[in-house]
Amino acid sequence: MHQPIGVFDSGIGGLTVVKALRDLLPRENIFYIGDTARVPYGNKSAETVERYALELAGLLLRENAKLIVVACNTVSSVAIPKLRAALPVPVIGVIEPGAHAAIALTRNRHVGVIGTRATIRSGAYENALRALNVHVRVSSCACPLLVPLIEEGLLEDQLTDLTLARYLKPMMNDGIDTLVLGCTHYPLLAPAIARSLENAVQLVDSARNCASSVKELLERQSLAASGDAEGTLRVVLTDAADNFLSVARNALQLEIGDVTVQSVC
């Protein structure tokens, strides 16, 4: 069996990245770890997030992962440099692919970013966007209520629509023409977000763009799977998941199969 792509997230939101990888790279084996025992990461210190990230990456390396995909915007915003320095395999996060896509899409150079408090506080997207175009204007908004709504399965609900309007209307009125979904949960709300923005703003799905970057890296470094056999997906969680696993299965149409619960230690 060929080496898997190792993917981890603070919880189960990173399954949006797994879905994008499965669609784009159907021959690749994928080993996914969701740290459901310690989610959410968005309200934790950078030092704690770095420690958690190194622990999860270590688990993936023990599974012989050929590269590590950080399917978490919070971890990507604070821990990528430490992971790249410590690990013997390539590491890809979601920040840089999302920034590249946003710069390519924006026409008026005014980009919005939504994410967890930790992601927004880090300024990672602003830094990545301005590194690509010094003239870009960035409007950011922390949206702490969205992940709980998604995990409750309220993807098409009036409460979610009202919450989105509260977060997004000021950004739309301020003139953004592109919005980065800076949390891997958020693609599950893409239709509701598009409605809230009156379909007038282009959405950047960090999961899809991350998968494209993985494909390019595999080809560039000759790491892509050979043969025609369909790849496998193994999902490990650090604690039993509640109804969000069902939400992810139904919303993503992702065949997850059996899920193993495994301690980090």
CATH of residue 121's domain is 3.40.50.1860
Q: How many CB atoms lie within 10 A of CB 6?
A: 27
- β-strand pairing of 5-9 with 233-237: unpaired
Q: Are 32 and 21 in contact (CB under 8 A)?
A: no
Clarify whether residues 133 and 225 are in a common domain: no
Clarify whether residues 130 and 173 are in a common domain: yes
Clarify whether residues 173 and 143 are in a common domain: yes
Q: What is the pLDDT of residues 160-205, one digit of tens each?
A: 999 999 999 999 999 999 999 999 989 999 999 999 999 999 999 9
Q: What is the pLDDT of residues 16-32, one digit of tens each?
A: 999 999 999 999 999 99
User: What CA–CA distance (Å, rounded) separates 232 from 148?
Assistant: 29
User: What CA–CA distance (Å, rounded) separates 234 from 226?
Assistant: 19
Q: How far is CA 40 from each of CA 5, 18, 22, 46, 118, rounded to the nearest angstrom?
A: 23, 19, 25, 13, 10
Q: Which amino acid is at 207?
A: A
User: What CA–CA distance (Å, rounded) separates 28 from 7?
Assistant: 12
The domain of 30 spans 5-93+208-261
Q: What is the pLDDT of residue 234?
A: 94
Q: Which helix (H) or strand (E) holds 110?
A: strand 110-115
Clarify whether residues 47 and 148 are in a common domain: no
Of 187, 206, 225, the residue that ends a domain is: 206
Angle in degrees, 0-180, between the axes of helices 244-252 and 15-24, rounded to the nearest 10: 30
Q: How many CB atoms lie within 10 A of CB 191?
A: 12
Clarify whether residues 121 and 168 are in a common domain: yes
Q: What is the pLDDT of residues 78-122, one digit of tens each?
A: 999 999 999 999 999 999 999 999 999 999 999 999 998 889 999
Q: Which of 210, 218, 235 is nearest to 28 (CA)?
A: 218
Clarify whether residues 19 and 87 are in a common domain: yes
pLDDT band of 242, cuts 50, 70, 90: low
Clarify whether residues 165 and 228 are in a common domain: no
* Predicted structure pTM score: 0.91
What's the whole-number average pLDDT of the chain? 93
Clarify whether residues 54 and 134 are in a common domain: no
Number of separate domains in the chain: 2
Clarify whether residues 39 and 107 are in a common domain: no
Q: How far is CA 151 from each of CA 47, 58, 112, 218, 249, rounded to the nearest angstrom?
A: 26, 27, 23, 32, 12
What residues are annotated to the active site?
Answer: 72, 183
Q: What is the pLDDT of residues 27-84, one digit of tens each?
A: 999 999 999 899 888 888 889 999 999 999 999 999 999 999 999 999 999 999 999 9
Q: Which of 212, 210, 219 is nearest to 181 (CA)?
A: 210
